[in-house]
Structure formats: C-alpha cells, structure tokens
Amino acid sequence: MKTWRMIAGIAGVAVAAALAMPASGAQLALQDDQLHNLSGPALDQRLDLLKSTGTKVSRVDIIWRWVAKTRPAEPTDPADPAYDWSRYDQMLKGLIARDITPMITFYWTPEWASRSGKSNAAPRVADAAAFATAIARRYNGTWPDGSGGTLPLVKRLEIWNEPNIGTFWSPQCRRQGGRYVMESARQYSALVAAAYPQIKAVSPSSIVTGGVTGPVGGSVCEKTDSSVGTITFAEEMIRQKVPIDAWSMHLYPIGSPLQAYFVPSWKTIPQITRLVDRLKPGAPIYVTETGYHTSYNRYHRYFVSEAQQAAWVGETMQAAKQYPRVEVAVWFNLQDNPFWTGGLMRINGTKKPAWAQFTAQVGATPRPATWAP
C-alpha cells in the first residue's frame, strides 16, 4: 500500500508539472516583402494573395526613410507633417480586415538620422527611439484613421532588423588602438533601452521585441562590418541590462530543421533561451524569419530543391513545436525575387510545392487566442 501511494504521489506530481508547463504556442506565419512597395488597389490585391495562403500572422517592414524623408519637428507625434503613413495605414487595416495579425518591425535609417546618411547606418539613438514611439502611438488602437474610425492596435513591435549584420546596421565594429572591437550590440542596446519606456508610455499593451538577430554564429571583429554572432550580441545586451518583452531571431539552417546544429538553428534554441532568461525570465521567442532558398543567390550560397523546400516547411513546424517558448515561425517570404529565392511562389507567380505544404501546416495549427487581431 505504501509503495502504491508513493507511485501515485509521484504520478500526481508529474501530471501537475505537465499541466503547469506552457502549451506550445508555435504557429507558422508568412511575410510578404513586396507589401511595402505597393499602395492602393495593387496593395489590396496583394493582401488578398497573402490571405489565400491561410496565414493568420504576418510580419510587416516599416521603412523609416520612406515614412520620414525629412526630420520631423515633433518626432514622437505621428501627426507631424514630415511623416507619410499612408501605405502602412492601408496595409495594417487591410491585414486586420482579412483576419491576419500583423507584427511590425522598422529599419533603414533616413539620411538626416545618421552621420553617414546611408540607409544601413547606425541611427542616432534619440531619433530612432522617437520613431519607434510614433509607430507605437499611431497603432495603439486609439489613433483616428481620418474616416471616423481608428487605426488598428498592433501589439508586437520589433526594434530594427538584423542589427548584428552590416547590411542593416553599420558599423558593426570600430577600431580601437591596433584592433577592432564590437560596436553594434552596444549601440543597439542603447536604442532598445531608450525606446522601451517611451513605447510603453503610449501603448502599454505593446510587446517590445528585441534582438531580431540575423543568422550569424561566431564572430570576430576583423573589419568595420564584420557580422556579430547571435550569442555574442545577446551577451552584450545582457551586460547592458536591456529591457525587452520578447526576443526575436532569424534562422536559416544549413540542413534539415530537425538536424542542423550550427548556431543559430532550431537545435540551439535552448542555448538562446537561457540567455534570454537573463534579460527577461520566461520571455517568448519569436522566429521572425526562417526558410530555405531554391537557387543560388548572393546572400545565400546554400540552396535546396523545390521538393526539399516543401518537405522542410513541415519539418520547420515540427522543430518549432519542440520548444514551448517559441510562439511563431515566420516563413520568409511569399514570393521569390532576384536576390531571395525562399518564396512559396516563383518570380513568375507560379506556386512551388512549398505552397501546398505551407497551407496544410497553417490549416493544422490554430492561432492562439493571445495572437488574435
């Protein structure tokens, strides 16, 4: 009897522990990098195409230098005449109307917000934080849309895109004495630290997402734009005690999603999670870009066949669901372009085998209630 009670007690503890663990919120989503190039009827048609995939979540790039071509007098005020939000208002309202939850990221520095004037230049912290605040304020669910209604509430706001890669943030390293030292992670940490309280002040329900690291493993500062590894970048953010609500990263594994082991990959999610817990214990992980190319291009030498890409859409979801902290995996992108061939569609608009696999996976994975528009 005593043995039975002990076994029952152990079983009860195990069941309770299992129930206490968060259920996997992993869901498959899709980004269309052509949306921000369109407006008017063409944008609506493209949104209809996105909806036809069945996706319930989509990531949206806000191009800062397009919204603010000149310096605003009141940069935290979305109504400042320097700002042009028209295509994004249409886009975000259109996504909500189609029952697609948007996630926002912003990048590409305006000429006036950096020392070099280049689009990938590291922005001045105050300018970038002010723009993040203007985004959060405009899309906090209360801002008038000009036609008697309000613009949508967009809860998830990423700070920048791949700030650990010179393509999006430069310089990555600076010369100090006779060697190069990491610069980007320190500057980026300052931006997130400045933006976080301002965003929360105008949109308390916003989930401020930091990191947004590109798929880089190890890193050595050998020149100005040497990429900084995901781990190194996160460790610097920990040293700077950066406030975040969620961590996002980009995964483009070399090999199967279930087998690739280089940092960063699905198998290294636990390593990343341990670091994230030192920033924000229990923070969700968003994989806001992932996928596989089907031809050689200048950004990725590694590519797979269209049949392999389709099979690995399914494996991507299997991999994501192994980690309860991963809430979303965003496939990038909807359609190939000359520089990126990870789309579900070819450049000519025909569908790859991955389209059918994606729609099947999306249909089999409901969107969690916490992600509803």
Looking at residue 9, its pLDDT comes to 37
Looking at residue 234, its pLDDT comes to 96
Nearby residues of 68 by Cβ (< 8 Å), 6 or more positions away: 75, 82, 83, 84, 110, 113, 131
Question: 211 — alpha (psi -120 to 50), left (phi > 0) or beta?
Answer: left
Both tokens of 23, joined, read: 């259920």
Tell how strand 285-290 and strand 326-332 pair up.
Answer: parallel
Residue 1 has pLDDT above 80, yes or no: no
CB 43 within 8 A of CB 90: yes
Closest among 135, 121, 136, 276 to 187, alpha carbons compared: 121
Mean pLDDT of 189-202: 98
Nearby residues of 220 by Cβ (< 8 Å), 6 or more positions away: 226
pLDDT band at 3 (very low <50, low <70, confident <90, very high): very low
In this structure, the chain runs to a length of: 373
Express each pLDDT in 339-372 by its tens digit: 999 999 999 999 999 999 999 999 999 999 999 9
Tell how strand 326-332 and strand 57-63 pair up.
Answer: unpaired
Both tokens of 199, joined, read: 């965003």
Residue 258 has pLDDT above 70, yes or no: yes
pLDDT band at 176 (very low <50, low <70, confident <90, very high): confident
Q: Alpha carbon 208 to chain centroid distance?
A: 11
Q: In what order do the strands lie in the sheet with 246-251?
A: 28-31, 326-332, 285-290, 246-251, 207-213, 156-159, 101-107, 57-63
Average per-residue pLDDT for the chain: 92
C-alpha neighbours within 13 Å on the C-beta side of residue 310: 13
Express each pLDDT in 259-284 by its tens digit: 999 999 999 999 999 999 999 999 99
For the chain, list the domains and their CATH numbers: 24-367 (3.20.20.80)
Express each pLDDT in 129-165 by its tens digit: 999 999 999 999 999 999 999 999 999 999 999 999 9
CB 254 within 8 A of CB 293: no
Q: For the chain, how far is it from start to end, CA to CA, in angstroms?
A: 53
Looking at residue 24, its pLDDT comes to 54
Mean pLDDT of 105-122: 96
Looking at residue 298, its pLDDT comes to 79
Looking at residue 44, its pLDDT comes to 98
Compute the distance between CA of residue 144 and CA of residue 239 in angstroms, rounded to an integer.
40
Quick one: what percent of the chain has pLDDT higher than 70?
A: 93
Mean pLDDT of 220-243: 93
The whole-model pTM stands at: 0.92
Express each pLDDT in 42-84 by its tens digit: 999 999 999 999 999 999 999 999 999 999 999 999 999 999 9
